[in-house]
Structure 1
């Protein structure tokens, strides 16, 4: 396939089911930095995306796994 038409370079999703986490990470990578986290938030999944500029996008659910909850951004 062709590369996704967005700036996301990596997407990680935390989930009890590894197959579900992998599927959502791939879907999030393709959806991009705006729609990806929104879809994960709808599913209440913890996820982090990083774009080519180094900007970090986090879902609300990720904060329960973070020791130092620094704000996301560039």
Structure 2
């Protein structure tokens, strides 16, 4: 955080160049792989522009829509149903 603040103060980067995600997720050995194989997670290849560019509020929906098919349908479901 100190380095990020210094880069902003020096004019090297702007506050908009950063995106912070708050929270924690941890897994036992092989747990994440097993959860992915059980369809608890959706894996997608995304460009850094997509991840770092747009609105964080709509990022989940936007990525699902780009994945198409069943995923696109999921993007339109109310969040509490997911």
Greater share of helix: 2
TM-score by length of 1: 0.29
TM-score by length of 2: 0.27
RCO higher in structure (CA 8 A, sep ≥6): 1
